[in-house]
Structure 1
């Protein structure tokens, strides 16, 4: 397992100078509230004991050179035109980070080394850990004090640079989490609170055997669901006789209406964004505008099922928090199972491999299991009675080949 000392040694070996700062940015496992953050609705993730370490030292070159032991290759990006140096997908996150740091120590450069034990491409938020860690380490190297809340805000916008309209869950839990706790995050209005994890409850994560990249077809599928929730929001508001004034329109703007679940069942199964906008009497750009991606307003997208999932999943966040507070592990496990069924049947972001590994972990004694992250591959998480971790890990590896391992709710971002 890489340590701050080993990261400093690797930095000195790579660049011939000592690092002035090392930051630790953990991975993330979401327990409840999947695909709700971009609708302004709550989430309940944990930061985990696997992380990226980001070592940095400043210079006056105007370039940021990043060598990675966690991702492939080396990036060399200009502070003024970082996009021109993007030669690999992970470089896009670096370019986004530098774009958000334009006003921080302009003209300064840096050398950066990234290492760690957080798996990449599997849905444990390695990309967000990279973005949060790089922003925090660079700011510290340039002698600028950024509060963790500001690091999370900048990282959220930076990740949209690669075309995924992320909602902000990953960046906030990575920046703000507390060991031994989940972090309840609300977006409208913004608020966070720590939720203690009860004694006797462990977590196992298991790889499905399918990577979960944030680019290409997975990115497009994710953005379809973002636009689908916006279309659902304006159509529900139209049914209720009002117009959502905020941009973008979110399901959070209508979720508190008592009959919203009933009205959601009257939404069209599928519709194009332009047709939803026409019905609601609004400009379609309010639905399709993305930070750094294009969306076809004529593409038919799921609306009813997406709304059903997001609204029910937000309610599961409340139920999961209550179950943890009461120490009701059986109820908490059942919530994970319900969430996975909704992600599979309504949001349709699960895969056969994710379904298989979840089923295997339940059969081996897990209280409940669900995909974690955006889906379309990646990892699943299981709630496991303490003492039964080895059996659940063995079952998961037998189902999809692994890896599978326990994760411990851990502290968020730290500068070491």
Structure 2
């Protein structure tokens, strides 16, 4: 017998990549794909976790024993980490039976980890009357991922899953978590945004992610600012001239120009110039490929093929080294662009990519 059912979505980031851990600007929106949790409160201090998507028996953990040093290294670390983070924060959380079912593609850079974290936190917030708002939930989930799971991510994914609104993209300032919902109705303009899941994930991604984060922090320290968000776009050339390390210089250039791209996309959307965001997306991919060096041959293949086939813009989305790309197309050319990408993968004997239309959807919520 459950006490309720909750859902939290995955996300696509329209623009603003790797800026979140630099106190910068991002612009994600929620996908219709969700992780659904059916939850029953229990008062014996046992956390019982089961997933319809992972083979095996339910996993039972004692909440009093949860600690980063005791993590298991599998999917259960994400919900267990949330319970640990809530208790670390002084919140009275006991046990629970939680059954998960998810339609968020894993390993696709669409934040399946944030979805399971946020749905867990939201359910426990309701069942234990913890009094958290959506920002609190996102903060706790980020701590779970950073400290318990051990992934040095920013807060964008958790904020997107917790806070996005139907038909909108979320303009988020990751420094103070100020946010605005920006209308993002592509259908009204005869457009679609395709997500192309390359179905690849390169093994060096986690270590390379941490290396880039450390490089950004080194750049901020060398420039005497708290974070690279504090380097103004019109002062970029002067800032770059002060940096001796070419790798750090390239990282700084990406972050500063990417924050500026977020502002440009918002200006275009608010002016009704939706097609004009296409070239900005493509610029973002070039920066991620050349300066931040987090793309990969499969992502570049999607972007180059889609643009050749008539797409208005395209870029990788997510952390990189695999995962997904987004492609802005006229609705009338969706089939042509999709077919071109699939044929390009087949010609290189790569697994067929998964392609679907991204629909800006609702954030985390109680279902029943």
TM-score by length of 2: 0.90
Structure-2 change in CA distance of 1:71 and 1:373 (3 Å): farther
Which whole-Å CA distance do the structure 1 matches of 2:26 and 2:294 have between them?
A: 17
Q: 1:399 aligned to 2:344?
A: yes
What SS does the aligned partner of 1:303 have? helix
- Contact kept in structure 2, 1:132 and 1:155, CA below 8 Å: yes
Match of 1:307 among 246, 252, 255: 252
Gaps of 5+ in 1: 1-17, 238-243, 271-301
- Contact kept in structure 2, 1:76 and 1:85, CA below 8 Å: no
| Residue-pair matches, total | 353
Gaps of 5+ in 2: 346-351
What SS does the aligned partner of 2:75 have? helix
Q: Specify the alignment match of 2:200 in structure 1.
A: 210
- Contact kept in structure 1, 2:118 and 2:161, CA below 8 Å: yes
- Contact kept in structure 2, 1:21 and 1:140, CA below 8 Å: no
Q: Specify the alignment match of 1:78 in structure 2.
A: 62
Q: 1:346 aligned to 2:291?
A: yes
Match of 1:177 among 164, 168, 173: 164
Match of 1:324 among 266, 269, 275: 269
- 1:218-367 pair list within 5 angstroms: 218-237=205-224, 244=225, 249-252=226-229, 254-256=230-232, 258-270=234-246, 302-367=247-312
Structure-2 change in CA distance of 1:72 and 1:226 (3 Å): farther
- 1:372-391 pair list within 5 angstroms: 372-391=317-336
Which stretch of structure 1 is more off in the superposition, 144-153 or 303-312? 144-153
Q: Specify the alignment match of 2:82 in structure 1.
A: 97
Q: How far did 1:345 drift?
A: 0.3
Q: How far did 1:89 drift?
A: 2.5
What SS does the aligned partner of 1:313 have? helix
Q: Specify the alignment match of 2:349 in structure 1.
A: none
- Contact kept in structure 2, 1:350 and 1:377, CA below 8 Å: yes
- 1:69-148 pair list within 5 angstroms: 69-73=52-56, 74-83=58-67, 86-102=71-87, 103-106=90-93, 108-148=94-134
- Contact kept in structure 2, 1:396 and 1:404, CA below 8 Å: no
Q: How far did 1:166 drift?
A: 1.4
What SS does the aligned partner of 1:29 have? strand
Q: How far did 1:24 drift?
A: 1.1
Which whole-Å CA distance do the structure 1 matches of 2:335 and 2:74 have between them?
A: 35
Q: How far did 1:386 drift?
A: 2.5
Q: How far did 1:340 drift?
A: 0.2
When the two chains are superposed, the root-mean-square deviation of aligned CA atoms in Å is 1.9
Which whole-Å CA distance do the structure 2 matches of 1:138 and 1:393 have between them?
A: 41
| TM-superposition CA deviations, 1:348-381 (whole Å, max 9, x none) | 0000000001222223332111100000110111
Q: How far did 1:393 drift?
A: 2.7
- Contact kept in structure 1, 2:118 and 2:158, CA below 8 Å: yes
Structure-2 change in CA distance of 1:354 and 1:265 (3 Å): farther
Structure-2 change in CA distance of 1:189 and 1:61 (3 Å): closer
Q: How far did 1:187 drift?
A: 2.5
Q: Which 4+ stretches in 1 moved above 4 angstroms?
A: none
Q: How far did 1:232 drift?
A: 0.5
Structure-2 change in CA distance of 1:150 and 1:72 (3 Å): farther
Which stretch of structure 1 is more off in the superposition, 387-396 or 308-317? 387-396
